[in-house]
Structure 1
Amino acid sequence: MSNPRLQIDGNKIAENAALLIKMLKPLAIDVVAVTKVFMGHPVIARLLIDAGATILADSRIENIEKMRRAGITVPIMLIRPPMLSQLERVLLNCNISLNTEISTIQALSASAKNLGVFHQVIIMVELGDLREGVMPDHLIEIIKETRSLSNIRLQGIGANLACRYGIAPDHHNMTYLAKLASDMETHFKLKLDIISGGNSANLLWAFSSDNVERINQLRLGESIYFGVEALNKRRISGAHTDTVKLIAEVIESNQKPSIPWGKRHKNAFGEQDDIIDRGDVAQAILALGRQDVDPHGLISPEGLTIISASSDHIVIESNNMPLEIGQEIEFKIDYVGLLSAMTSPFVKKYFT
């Protein structure tokens, strides 16, 4: 096999997806399976569908188009507000999108009418994390305008937390979201089908709540792919946490001083870390760099430590004997690491 490479255990990912769908069903919460960390890979999409997912989601229209070209026909949600420059592509490939700007929804309506299609929207509400979302006191106004538009169907409201400032979903903000939904229904004399509460960060709240109010949808990615809830990275009971590994190859192995010499400046990335003199160390270089993966997303095997990373090299130290040229080093990888490694064309992807 070629290096560097990701080894992805599709069976474990499918089992995680099925487990979460089963766990959330008694709470009347539907799972939207998010494919973005895998760049809409059709293999992942099919695994999720086979595991019971009835709707997929992604943040990039390119990923969604890839799934459509591969024959994926289930409903797909665009989970980043649409760009005006991509409206036709969104309408032709996405059944539903998350929105915050009335000008965008108006443009969706005009384009949908020209194309002879209908499009569903969820209005996102700001609950404190200060990423996407309409301020609650503007919700009536945007819903009123949305309902007046042709070829647009208002499906519900939603929220996103924990992604920017780490604001946790809890009883207070989820109850408030549910109340907003009820208030809108009363005001407009309508029924909202979807109250989309958030992402994998919502699982702690969901599994510890006596009452999840009216929240009936969560958009899950990290919890499916890594078997953890997203706030504290705690393992979900019964889930697999060893679904993805990254393998890199040793291209140099030497005893070297731990302290550099010569006049020192910041490195190529503007960094100048403190250095501790540890004497001579067993240092190895991997054919893997920041262009391939965020090194902060790698978890080293026992006895090895990542010391630094440049564009094309990761420097590691081994506590015991020096590593051999050509030796493969297997890292565990987290969401941050996978997000970057999947994007790199230099990292090969293998599904087992």
Structure 2
Amino acid sequence: MCLGRTVIAPRLEIDLDAIAHNARTLVDLLAPKGIRVTGVSKAALGSPGVASAMLRGGVTGLGESRVENLARLRTAGIVALLTLIRSPMMSQVDRVVRDADVSLNTEALVLDALSATAVRWRTTHAVILMVELGDLREGVAAEDVVDLARTVGQRPGLTLAGLGTNLACQNGITPDQHKMDELSRLVEQVEAACGVDLSIVSGGNSANLDWAMATRDVGRINELRLGESILLGTEALHRRVIDGLRTDAFTLVAEVIEAREKPVQPWGVGAQSAFGERSRRTGVGTVRQAILALGRQDVDTGGLTPPNGITILGASSDHLVVDAGDHAVSVGDEVAFQLDYGALTTAMTSPSAVKVERSAAPVNARPPPGSGVDVA
């Protein structure tokens, strides 16, 4: 807990050195396996500072799910291979070709639009076809991927850079050896059918780390798209802390606006709260209750971890109510929270939470020599 007063709260404090450390640790762990890392900065809303920290840590490129964030990185002068990791919207194909070097795709109509745009701009856009392996989010059926891959090379302005898959994000399906072997087999089939060498085989995200570190055979997998593990230091299947990684890259700080002794239990005729919930408070007596100027409009409060000895009692749009326990909390004091991935994404998109980045190193960074991926 931080005591004292500041003029900026709530604020999200971002330790860029912690992010660079996590990126470097993961890059070094995966390099002996022949797997490179694309740093996914989408949870940080395309922050150039966060992106630069990832590059400083040795990632070979950056992934973003929104083309607006890619444009932000371009405008900031970030020099890296930029990949759009969400299927492009038809309404944004011009911006995709302009700001993304590579995009993940599943739809023939979108490929047609990307091709026409690339031809009009006299450029080449690289494509990774995503394969459905069971998590039921994006992806072409395995039996259809060869046919779609054949058509990519027939579209002017496009080049087939590789295949990829996404697991665990939608339905929690584990990226295990069987799934990765299946992706490797599909790569071999596409290369044989299309007469190409695929330079990118993107096996997945931070949920793949348990598999990647345990397997003796990565097959054709040579890239992972890592966001949560770099930003929060945790793997994405069970949210365990990864050995050697820091978990303090992001801290959300809020100010106390009321501190009073209050009864544990509300009184009166009970009904629903503003969010359609009913009180679940337990216990008797009184608590040292504090209210913080932070609410569900700012962050997913269910993803916040308070300091030891402080318990979150509830939250509305603009108020977070806590039991301060034995902490002598006063009005104007600050309380610092750790965040899970859901809380981080919402705090980053909240205009009310001021973002404060700090680093002992220069924030401008370029990828290390020789780390680029040839997708032309």
TM-score between the two structures when normalised by the length of structure 1: 0.97
Q: 1:87-114, CA deviations, whole angstroms, 9 ceiling, x for partnerless residues?
A: 1111111000000111101111011111
Match of 2:58 among 35, 52, 56: 52
Which residue of the partner structure matches residue 252 of structure 1?
258
Stretches of structure 1 that go unaligned for 5 or more consecutive residues are none
The structure, 1 or 2, with the larger RCO (C-alpha pairs under 8 Å, 6+ apart) is 2
Stretches of structure 2 that go unaligned for 5 or more consecutive residues are 1-5, 359-376
Which residue of the partner structure matches residue 307 of structure 1?
313
Q: Distance between the aligned counterparts of 1:310 and 1:71, measured in 2? A: 40
* Counterpart contact for 2:228–2:234, Cα < 8 Å: yes
Match of 1:346 among 342, 346, 352: 352
* Counterpart contact for 1:283–1:322, Cα < 8 Å: no
Which residue of the partner structure matches residue 71 of structure 1?
77
Q: What displacement does 1:321 show?
A: 5.1
- What's the secondary structure of 1:281's corresponding residue? strand
Which residue of the partner structure matches residue 147 of structure 1?
153
Q: What displacement does 1:54 show?
A: 2.4
Spell out the pairing of 1:211-250 with structure 2 (5 A cutoff).
211-250=217-256
Q: 1:243-291, CA deviations, whole angstroms, 9 ceiling, x for partnerless residues?
A: 2111111101111122222222211111124332422221110000011
- What's the secondary structure of 1:198's corresponding residue? coil
Q: Distance between the aligned counterparts of 2:31 and 2:64, measured in 1? A: 22
Q: Does 1:175 align with 2:181?
A: yes
Q: Does 1:103 align with 2:112?
A: no
- What's the secondary structure of 1:332's corresponding residue? strand
Which residue of the partner structure matches residue 9 of structure 2?
3
Match of 1:12 among 4, 18, 22: 18
* Counterpart contact for 2:309–2:327, Cα < 8 Å: no
Q: Distance between the aligned counterparts of 2:295 and 2:280, measured in 1? A: 21
Which residue of the partner structure matches residue 27 of structure 2?
21
- What's the secondary structure of 2:338's corresponding residue? strand
Q: What displacement does 1:322 show?
A: 5.0
Which residue of the partner structure matches residue 368 of structure 2?
none
Q: Distance between the aligned counterparts of 2:327 and 2:209, measured in 1? A: 43
Q: Distance between the aligned counterparts of 1:9 and 1:193, measured in 2? A: 33
Q: Distance between the aligned counterparts of 2:64 and 2:284, measured in 1? A: 46
Which residue of the partner structure matches residue 262 of structure 1?
268
Spell out the pairing of 1:21-40 with structure 2 (5 A cutoff).
21-40=27-46
Q: Does 1:197 align with 2:200?
A: no
Which piece of structure 1 moves more, 231-240 or 62-71? 231-240
Which residue of the partner structure matches residue 129 of structure 1?
135
Amino acid at match of 1:8: I
Q: Does 1:328 align with 2:334?
A: yes
Q: Distance between the aligned counterparts of 1:275 and 1:255, measured in 2? A: 16
Pairwise CA RMSD: 1.2
Q: Does 1:166 align with 2:158?
A: no
Match of 1:43 among 49, 52, 55: 49
TM-score between the two structures when normalised by the length of structure 2: 0.91
